[in-house]
Structure 1
Amino acid sequence: MAGLEIVRIPVLSDNYVWLVHDPVSAETMVVDPAVAEPVLAEAEARGWKIGAIWNTHWHPDHTGGNAAIKAATGAQVIAPAAEAARIPTADRLVRESEEVRLGAHAAIVMEVPAHTAGHIAYHFAGDSVAFVGDTLFAMGCGRLFEGTAEQMFSNMQRLAALPDDTMVYCAHEYTQSNGRYALVAEPDNDAIRARMADVDAARLAGVATVPTTIGQERATNPFMRAQTSEILAERRAAKDAFRG
């Protein structure tokens, strides 16, 4: 089976929208479109027709393009059932362990609440790909806007259990600021120091630092590496106040 083609579309100040295409079925979907125009333009330039929108959570910088893309393409909007009231464009509501498909490629829905109460991720086990929205970032995790440190700790443990080679597609370019805090949280972690040298060089050159991998995060992410929910809570509060 041919692999998924995944295109990064940078929008707003630091968002990434992911355009995902199955070359066998010619089906295309978009993950968390903050806005519509760049996404429609990229799909048109590639000759791809968007048939679905997959949302991870309700925040406007993840759903703001839903209506316009849906109007332009007739795409079906797939969204977390727990956030149905906040995603009025949704056509299909999905829950834990449900399957969502792009051609022959199957993704399983993972409920990962904390950043928002109904946040989900989509895991393509057969493709070693996960779209995680604002739950897991490169060397970071989402703020606890609607949930608890205990929930986020559970999310981190669950995602850490995925194979190390799983490609993680998050929704923001936060790696450099996350890494600066990671160096403070784990000053003796040589893997973080080495990774930050690469990240700083990439950002200086204007190069994106995501996707990441589960293996990289297990080695360098202070939130995934937190041994208890209490430690994660302390680190999340410290990162919220961090100005390094």
Structure 2
Amino acid sequence: MTIKIWPISAFSDNYIWAIVQADQAVVVDPGDAAPVLAYLRDQGLTLSNILLTHHHADHVGGVAELVQRTGATVYGPPGPDIPCRDVQLREGDQVNLGIFGQFTVLEVPGHTLDHIAYFGQVDERNVLFCGDTLFATGCGRLFEGNSRQMQQSLDKFRKLPHNTSVYCAHEYTLGNIRWARTVDPHNPDLEQWQREAETLRNNNQATVPTSLEHELKTNPFMRTDEPVVITAAEQHVGHSLDHPENVLEVLREWKNQF
């Protein structure tokens, strides 16, 4: 049977991803139990596993109640702030979810120090659950890590197959695009993407997942080695930048103030 991946909306802009086959489900980063329980009830599903990318409350706040109500097995990164974790994961670990397939764990610090992502195949489709490391046309704020770590993390994503679908955890796309067009105003892919994203949101549809191929064309944080992005960052900060991580640092601070 076909595996479906569905966004469950939570809070003002979070997506809790549900991976569904037949009457079984896995959820990724359930910050709120209520919408997950409602979805499971409405769809007649049993929750078997929970995948966590990092410890922020809007990603883990619903875990304890979901475990209490369903007995789901919880996978997550190391650290004391991951609730109800049954299986601790590190770089290169394999998560075998039976009918849902197998996922490889990537350590991707930057947004937080404990952040991980899950890469695998669902119905022969390459998929990446990246939490708050990579967004559509953006990346996560550097709350705990630094620009070098974030650059290294995004470089790991750049090496994945370009047809990989990117399932990020927030609907930040329109704001990210508006900022990206100040960095790269003559990018036709960005211009087209803005029109498409605005249409999706006007119809109350999610702008994600995107693909890595798409991000490599439209996301300044994935293009820190490209001359147009380097030049924009240098002009913004007023001096030359020698390394991609320095470009990323300027871009991230630029976006923070945008």
TM-score range, shorter chain: over 0.9
Written as runs of structure 1 = structure 2, the 5 A alignment for 1:120-139 is 120-125=116-121, 126-139=124-137
Amino acid at match of 1:158: K
Written as runs of structure 1 = structure 2, the 5 A alignment for 1:26-175 is 27-81=24-78, 83=79, 85-104=80-99, 105-125=101-121, 126-175=124-173
- The count of residues paired between Structure 1 and Structure 2 equals 237
Say if 2:248 is the partner of 1:232: yes
Quote the Cα distance in structure 2 between the aligned partners of 1:140 and 1:166.
Answer: 17
Amino acid at match of 1:35: D
Contact kept? 2:32, 2:61, Cα under 8 Å: yes
Amino acid at match of 1:75: A
Deviation at 1:52, TM superposition (A): 1.1
Contact kept? 2:64, 2:83, Cα under 8 Å: no
Quote the Cα distance in structure 1 between the aligned partners of 2:57 and 2:224.
Answer: 30
- Point out the structure with max Rg over C-alpha: 2
Deviation at 1:55, TM superposition (A): 0.4
Contact kept? 1:27, 1:50, Cα under 8 Å: yes
Deviation at 1:3, TM superposition (A): 4.4
TM-score normalized by the length of structure 2? 0.89
Deviation at 1:202, TM superposition (A): 1.7
TM-score normalized by the length of structure 1? 0.94
Deviation at 1:4, TM superposition (A): 2.5
Contact kept? 1:4, 1:127, Cα under 8 Å: no
1:7 corresponds in structure 2 to: 6
Detail structure 1 runs of 4+ shifted over 6 Å in the superposition.
none
Amino acid at match of 2:17: W
Structure 2 gap ranges (5+)? 226-243
Stretch of structure 1 that moved more, 46-55 or 61-70: 46-55
Deviation at 1:201, TM superposition (A): 1.9
Contact kept? 1:129, 1:167, Cα under 8 Å: yes
Identical aligned residues as a percent: 42
Other structure's SS at 1:86 match: coil
> What are the superposed Cα offsets for residues 115-166 of structure 1, whole Å, 9 maximum, x if unpaired?
0001000001453011000000000000000101011111111111211211
Structure 1 gap ranges (5+)? none
Deviation at 1:49, TM superposition (A): 0.5
Other structure's SS at 1:223 match: helix
Contact kept? 1:27, 1:103, Cα under 8 Å: no
Deviation at 1:88, TM superposition (A): 3.1
Contact kept? 1:8, 1:16, Cα under 8 Å: yes
